[in-house]
Structure 1
Amino acid sequence: MQKNISVIISTYNSAEWLKKVIWGYNTQTYRNFEMVIADDGSRQETKDLIEDLKKEVFFPIIHVWHPDNGFQKSQILNKAILACTTDYIMMSDGDCIPRSDFVEQHIKFREEGFFLSGGYHKLPMALSESITQENIYSGQCFSVSWLKKNGMKASFKNNKIHAKGLFSTISNFLTPTTPSWNGHNASGWKQDLLAINGFDERMQYGGQDRELGERLVNYGIKPKQIRYSTVCLHLDHPRGYATPESIHKNKNIRKETKLQNKKWTNFGIKNEAK
């Protein structure tokens, strides 16, 4: 059967986290999707894991890899966009375990002329490490009581984990958070991503996903808030690739996008410098 949504998952040398994430997608209620793994140069361990998991999961996996050349997430995501075989693309990260209705909600809310903006719920490191395949397949890891019993602190934000129905609809409407393209939980039409030339490959860590969303808005695509409808658990990890220089550079590129109302980047999928 022809798939009708592509799920891009970004990863880099985080096989243990990626394994848990892929297990999460193997629980999805909506099954007509393909997975495209955007691999920013991981070692052989990740390739071997993906080959093993291909035999376990119900969905096809396309592994898009390039050699390790530092933090080049924007570049590998552009390659992954081109590898998608469907006309609708959802993006998340290899450290975000999706609730079983994650893909279903993106399908439910997708609409021409819009992109969808979701969020995540961050877990502490000890809890991130302790979640097992059984916890994921049973859905136990999305039980607030179970998470609190295993080290998650009490917080109003915990309501997001089990938000559904009317509560999630009202919360999406009331949240003060501005909808943006979030690399851990966003989706849109492939034709729109190609129309703005994908990600700006000059950008390192720090807002490259937001800049893509800002160009989508300049192009006329409206953001739709679904942070309480699409739930994923963000596993903790160090961020050694975040540097003041990369964040400063990215802020300047975003400032230029805003001031010039840019819809297109010359440093994206079509790049004469390549």
Structure 2
Amino acid sequence: MNKDISIIISTYNSPEWLTKVLYGYNAQTFRNFEVVIADDGSDEKTKKIISEIQKEVFFPIYHVWHEDNGFQKTIILNKSIFATTTDYILMTDGDCIPREDFIEQHIKNREEGYFLSGGYYKLPMKISKQISKEDIYLGKCFDINWLKKNGIKFSFKSYKLIAVGIKSWFFNFVTTTTPSWNGHNSSGWKSDFLKVNGFDERMQYGGEDREFGERLINKGIKSKQIRYSTVCIHLDHARSYVKPEMIEKNLQIRKETKANKKVWTEFGIKKE
């Protein structure tokens, strides 16, 4: 049976976190999907856990990998877009565990001429480590009461976990956060991605996802806010790969995209 949606999950040498994330997709209410792992040069440990977990989960997993040559997420994402077999793509990260209705909400809210902009609920390292397979399958790690028992303090951000139905719609409507392309939780039509030539492969960490979304908007694709409808929890991790020169270079590329209302990148899927 043909799949309805492709889930692209980016990862780099985080097999423990990726395992938890894949368990989250094994608990989804919407089940007609494929997973493409966009692997930015992980070692054999990641390949091994993907092989092992494929025997346990119901969905197909395709492992798209290239050699480690520094932070090259944009390159592996473009390769992964090309590897998908469906018309609709959801992008997320290998440190974001999806709630059971995560894909269902993206499917329900998708619309021609739009991309969907979701968010996440960030966890500290202690709880990130503590979450077990059972906690994911039973949904405990998305239960605000369970999280409070384990040291999380209630805040306005907690409404991402407890707002459902009309409440989630209301918070999506009133939030002052601009719906942008967020690499941890956004989805759109593959045909739209190709119209802007995918991600700009000159870009490394820092705004590379936003720049992609800005070109989609320049193309006339609108953004829809669903940050309170599509829940995923973000596991903590270090960011040793972040360098000031990466941030500065990306800022300059984004400035050019905004100033010139650029739609197409010459450094994307298709090379001139």
What TM-score results when the alignment is normalised by the length of structure 1? 0.99
Q: How does 1:61-140 map to 2 (within 5 A)?
A: 61-140=61-140
Q: CA deviation at 1:154?
A: 2.1
Match of 2:17 in 1: 17
Q: CA deviation at 1:242?
A: 1.2
Aligned residues: 272
Match of 1:204 in 2: 204
What TM-score results when the alignment is normalised by the length of structure 2? 0.99
Query: What are the superposed Cα offsets for residues 76-119 of structure 1, whole Å, 9 maximum, x if unpaired?
Result: 00000000000000000000000000000000000000000000
Match of 1:220 in 2: 220
**One-letter amino acid of the counterpart of residue 54, structure 1:** Q
Match of 2:247 in 1: 247
147-156 vs 196-205, greater mean Cα deviation: 147-156
Q: CA deviation at 1:162?
A: 2.3
214-223 vs 235-244, greater mean Cα deviation: 235-244
151-160 vs 132-141, greater mean Cα deviation: 151-160
Q: CA deviation at 1:186?
A: 0.1
**One-letter amino acid of the counterpart of residue 74, structure 1:** T
What secondary structure does 1:253 align onto? helix
2: CA distance between counterparts of 1:163 and 1:109?
A: 16
Runs of 5+ in structure 2 lacking a partner? none
C-alpha RMSD over aligned residues:
0.6
Q: CA deviation at 1:155?
A: 1.1
What secondary structure does 1:267 align onto? coil
Match of 1:264 in 2: 264
**Correspondence 1:33 to 2:33:** yes
Query: What are the superposed Cα offsets for residues 138-161 of structure 1, whole Å, 9 maximum, x if unpaired?
Result: 011111010111121221111111
Query: What are the superposed Cα offsets for residues 239-263 of structure 1, whole Å, 9 maximum, x if unpaired?
Result: 1111111011101000000000000
Match of 2:172 in 1: 172
What secondary structure does 1:16 align onto? helix
Runs of 5+ in structure 1 lacking a partner? none
1: CA distance between counterparts of 2:108 and 2:127?
A: 31
2: CA distance between counterparts of 1:61 and 1:12?
A: 16
Aligned identity (percent) is 69
2: CA distance between counterparts of 1:121 and 1:127?
A: 12
**Correspondence 1:58 to 2:36:** no
2: CA distance between counterparts of 1:42 and 1:120?
A: 24
2: CA distance between counterparts of 1:269 and 1:218?
A: 18
